Amino acid sequence: MKNIKFLAIGDIVTDAFIQLQDARVSCDIDDDNCTISMRFGDKIPYKDVEIVKAVGNSPNAAVSASRLGLKTALITYVGNDENGKECIETLKENGVLTNLVQTQDGFKTNYHYVLSFEAERTILIKHANFNYDFKSVIEKIEPPEWIYLSSLAENSIKFQHDIAKYVKEKGVKLAFQPGTFQISLGSETLKDIYESSYVFFCNKEEAQRILKNQEKDIKKLLQGIHDLGPKIAVITDGPDGAYTYDGRDMLYLPMYPDPKPPVERTGAGDSFSSTFTTALALGMPVEQALMWGPVNSMSVVQYVGAQKGLLSRAKLEEWLSKAPSYYKPKKIN
C-alpha cells in the first residue's frame, strides 16, 4: 500500500457499555481518587447495554483520522472468531484500510466491559497476548507519514522497540498515546518510544504515574514529560482544559463548551489526541492543532461509545467557527 498518511497501531476491542443505575461514587475532598461501589452479593439492576465494535485507543484514532480526510490504515490483531470479523467489517465501514489487520488462531478478539454511570465510566479490560510481529507486517507497505501508537498488551515490548527503530530509520513521525499497560511498563522500559515520539499525549494523572510523583503544577509535569524525549508534550486535564509544550512555549486552552451535558466520556481522550495529530499531519501549527482537539472531544461525549460522535472536517470547522471568543491558546510560561 502507498501514500498512507496515518497508520494507527494498537489493540482493537469490542466494548459492552453497561449503564448502571444503582451505584455510588465516593471521592476525596478535592474530587481526586474517586471510586464507584455497588452492593456486594446482590442482584443489581442496570438501565441498558450497548455493544460497540472495533474500538480501542488506536482504532478510535484511525476512524477519527479517516473521517477528517486522511488516508488511514490500522495494524491490530484479532482472533479467528465472529467478534474479530465484525470488528474488521466495522473498520471498513468507517473508511479505514484493513489490509494490515492480523487474524490469529487460538485467540479471542478483545472484549471489554464499560460500567457507565453519571457521564463517567470504569472499564474492565483484558488484552489477549497476541503474537505481535511488527517487521512482518510493516514490510507490506511503504513508510507512512505518521504512526499513531497506543494501547497494547504487556507482551508487546519487542514489538514496540521495533516500532521505535523503524520510525528513526524511516523518518516517520510518531504520535504516542500510552495505554494502561504501556504506562505500567515505565518510561525506562519504553525509553526509545518516548525519545522517538514527535508528539506525546496523556492526562494529568497519567503524567504523574509516568513521572512517579504527585506533582500538581502542570508546568512541571509538561517539562517532565518533554524531558523524556517527545518534541511536543500534550497533557489534558479533563474539563479543566489541555496544555502543550514544544520546548519553547507552554500553551493552555480551555475545553470547548458542551452544547448539553455529556452522555458518556469514553473516547474523549482518543478523539482529542487523534484530532490533534491529524491537524499536525495536515500541516497545521501546534496552536491550531490544540484548538481542533477539544472540538471532536466535545462531540464524542454527546454519544455512547468512542466513535459515533467523531466529526468530519467540515463539521469540525463549522463548530470552530462558532467557538466563543475565549477559546484561544494562551501562553502560560
For residue range 75-88, list pLDDT tens digits in order: 999 999 999 999 99
The residue segments making up the domain with residue 224 are 6-13+54-110+126-331
pLDDT of 217 higher than 90: yes
**pLDDT at position 30:** 72
Closest CA to 111 of 193, 49, 156: 49
Give domain status of residue 284, yes or no: yes
pLDDT of 69 higher than 90: yes
pLDDT of 263 higher than 90: no
Give domain status of residue 282, yes or no: yes
User: Is the Cα torsion angle 234, 237, 242, 244 positive or negative in sign?
Assistant: negative
Mean pLDDT, the chain, rounded, equals 94
Tell me the mean pLDDT in the region 135-159.
Answer: 96
Higher model confidence: residue 303 or residue 251? 251
pLDDT of 260 higher than 90: no
**pLDDT at position 321:** 97
Give domain status of residue 100, yes or no: yes
Q: Compute the distance between CA of residue 8 and CA of residue 96 in angstroms, rounded to an integer.
A: 10
Query: Distance from CA of residue 189 to its chain's centroid?
Result: 21
Task: Please say whether the beta carbons of 235 and 204 come within 8 A.
Answer: yes
Work out the burial of residue 19: count CB atoms within 10 Å of its CB; fewer than 13 is exposed, 13-18 middle, 19 or more buried. middle
Give domain status of residue 41, yes or no: no
Give domain status of residue 22, yes or no: no
Task: Please say whether the beta carbons of 159 and 134 come within 8 A.
Answer: yes
Q: What percent of the chain has pLDDT over 90?
A: 78
Phi/psi at 196 (nearest 5 deg)? -90, -10
pLDDT of 120 higher than 90: no
Phi/psi at 322 (nearest 5 deg)? -105, 10
What is the domain count for the chain? 1
Which cell numbers in the block locate residue 112? Answer: 471489554
pLDDT of 156 higher than 70: yes
Q: Compute the distance between CA of residue 69 and CA of residue 316 in angstroms, rounded to an integer.
A: 12
pLDDT of 207 higher than 70: yes
pLDDT of 32 higher than 90: no
Give domain status of residue 47, yes or no: no
**pLDDT at position 274:** 97
Q: Compute the distance between CA of residue 190 and CA of residue 174 in angstroms, rounded to an integer.
A: 14
Model confidence at 267, pLDDT cuts 50, 70, 90, reads low
Give domain status of residue 144, yes or no: yes
Element housing 223 (H / E): helix 218-227
Give domain status of residue 18, yes or no: no
Residue 221 maps to which CATH number? Answer: 3.40.1190.20
pTM: 0.91
pLDDT tens-digit series, residues 285-316 = 999 999 999 999 999 889 877 788 899 999 99
Segments of 59-162 assigned E as strands = 72-75, 77-79, 102-104, 111-117, 120-124, 146-149
